[in-house]
Structure 1
Amino acid sequence: MYRKNVLSAVLALGLLTTMSAQAEVVFAQANFLLNKNQLSAVNYRGKGTNIPVGAKVEVLKRDDDEVRCKVVDSGAEFRFVTHRSLGKPIAVLFAGFFAKDDPAARIAALSPEDQKQVRAGELARGMSREAVLLALGPPPPHRTPSYQSNRWTYWSSKLSTFEVVFGEDGKVASFSNEPVAAPAPTPAPAEKFFHATANFHFEEGTVSWVNYLKGPILPFNTRVEVLDKGSSKVKFKVVDSGQEFVFENDSRSGADTWKLFQAAFAPEDQASKLEALTAEDRKKVSASEVEPGMSRAAVRMAWGPPPPHETPSFDSSTWTYWKTKLSKVHVKFGKDDKVASIE
């Protein structure tokens, strides 16, 4: 009996050892901040509980939309979550935060001053790109698609950003939580007449890039004239009435103002696109209504393009619109590319 118990204990110990050996352990590649036991792939740099660079982290479970982890030293568990606006698989994003290689060698290769800033998780002028990456982690890829960019944009919170600006020597020239000065407005484009590609709501003469589904409407195919083009606004007027409007963008969109305007207003007359729809869909577009059974093209004309930070692709099975700043509408498409439900 004694031998049997000893054998069982040895086998159990071997099993535990094997399971432990199979545990996926990775290293934090920068200083990261947890907010309510959650680490966002947006890499918010405001307040939170710090995971220091080089910390050992055990991966507990990987899913399509999150990775559950545990800090080895403290035992604190957290969730690594993504955001659809980032446009990359969660596994790719996670690899930029945690990797099998200890970053100690990368830190040791830095200058003594850069090493100090990395350990403190702080920025300073003169830091190299590598030092910033180790101190703060990767900037969100939808605003900084390349580490070779001279400007890296980080988020302090969901509504606040700051930029790290690198000089020609590849070192930090400046950084600030204050908004970056807007470039001087560029001249209006040679093509100045455009047509509304959808029904667009406006409020007090402003058409928002979010396209809130409330307020008076500029009807589909309304012909407009561009008066001025700026970094965050495009001023235009309706040709028939002479009424002036402003198309307004802000930092939340993560997109160029002129590109957003061109998605809303096109040089080509849109009448033929409307005629290509079914009679029922044309009726709904004219009424600015969306109902089950409508095609994607009809929804696009009735309500306009969904804001890109929530619906980065028109091929998505769900398009998210805003009724107000606090109320969303989800248009879900079936396999036949027709509206299946509106929630």
Structure 2
Amino acid sequence: MNVRHSTAACRFALSCLAMGGLIACAPHYDSNAPALRTGYTCCNLHFEDDWISDGNYGENPFIAAGTPVKVYGYSGDRAYAEVGGRKMRLGHDYGRKEETLQQWIEKIVVTKDPKIPLAAFPPEVREAIRAGKVSEGMTKEQVIMAVGYPPTSETPSLDAPVWNYWLSSFDRYQLIWDKRGRMRVSADPGVKARVVYSPGK
């Protein structure tokens, strides 16, 4: 393990033990130390309290694509970061067999600001992405920007013809890709109404 990673993890563990346990401990790091990775959120990342998971449940609020990120430490299957100036934990919860934590972080913390390509998309696509929803006919790049990467535990490859997503642990939807790389949404009507962008709603 990288010495800086190990030191950050030790500081985190000691601060949690001093507070009486690891489970409910808030993220702690020295924001004056050099960041291990800096960049921008690749896409809209859903969160709960201070937790961003690779499950990326669509029912949760999201941090917009292009938000500045600084990653300060790694411990187990989580990273500790500032996202838009806010302390957050990034949890690699589901895709551990398919990719490492660092590989996942490299996917979601990108060096090129996605707001630059976003500005060149058609107006309706831009609006859908800003609303955190998909629009049938989107490209893979546009879908990822709107709803994030599908969890690799269920969609190991982006070359798969079907991508699996969840609004919650109970509500699932699928994006089905044609040979031209365009997609359509498959879901129960209630779920589909919540994930597909409709202008004015």
Name the aligned partner's letter for residue 312 of structure 1. Answer: P
In structure 1, give the amino acid aligned to 2:118.
Answer: L
8 Å contact kept, 1:333–1:341: no
List per-residue Cα deviations over 1:237-277 (Å, max 9, x = no partner).
Answer: 124xx321100113653121111111111122222221342
Distance in 2 (alpha carbons) for counterparts of 1:187 and 1:209:
25
One-letter code of the match for 1:271? K
The equivalent position to 1:305 in structure 2, one of 132, 149, 155, is 149
* Residue 290 of structure 1 pairs with residue 101 of structure 2: no
1:235 has 2:80 as partner: yes
Q: Contact 2:173–2:186 at 8 Å: present in 1 too?
A: yes
CA contact (8 A) 1:209 1:249 kept: yes
Match of 2:60 among 215, 221, 237: 215
Shift in Å, 1:191: 4.8
Uncovered stretches (5+) of structure 2, i.e. residues with no partner: 9-33, 188-201
Q: Counterpart amino acid of 2:149?
A: P
> Percent identity at matched positions?
26
Q: Deviations over 1:141-172 (max 9, x none)?
A: xxxxxxxxxxxxxxxxxxxxxxxxxxxxxxxx
Task: Supply the RMSD in Å over aligned alpha carbons.
Answer: 2.4
Q: With structure 2 as the length reference, what TM-score do the two structures score?
A: 0.71
Higher strand share: 1
The normalised TM-score by structure 1 is 0.43
2:57 counterpart of 1:197: no
Deviation per residue, 1:195-232 (Å, 9 max, x gap): 00100110021000111112121101000111212231
Instruction: Kindly provide the CA deviation profile for residues 59-114 of structure 1, in whole angstroms up to 9, marking residues without a partner as x.
Output: xxxxxxxxxxxxxxxxxxxxxxxxxxxxxxxxxxxxxxxxxxxxxxxxxxxxxxxx
Find 2:160's aligned residue among 313, 316, 320: 316
Matched, 1:244 2:92: no
Between the aligned partners of 1:235 and 1:271, the Cα distance in structure 2 is: 24
DSSP 3-state at the match of 1:300: helix
- For 1:253, the aligned partner's letter is R
Distance 1:249 1:341 in 2: 26
Matches within 5 A, 1:118-267: 185-186=5-6, 191-239=36-84, 242-250=85-93, 253-254=96-97, 255-267=99-111
Q: Is 1:200–1:217's contact at 8 Å kept on the other side of the alignment?
A: yes
Could you say which structure has the greater relative contact order, defined with CA pairs below 8 angstroms and 6 or more residues apart? Answer: 2
Aligned residues: 160
Gap change, CA 1:191 and 1:330, over 3 Å in 2? same
> In 1, Cα distance between the equivalents of 2:62 and 2:148?
11
Shift of residue 327 of structure 1? 2.5
Supply the distance in 2 between the matched residues of 1:196 and 1:251 (Cα, whole angstroms). Answer: 19
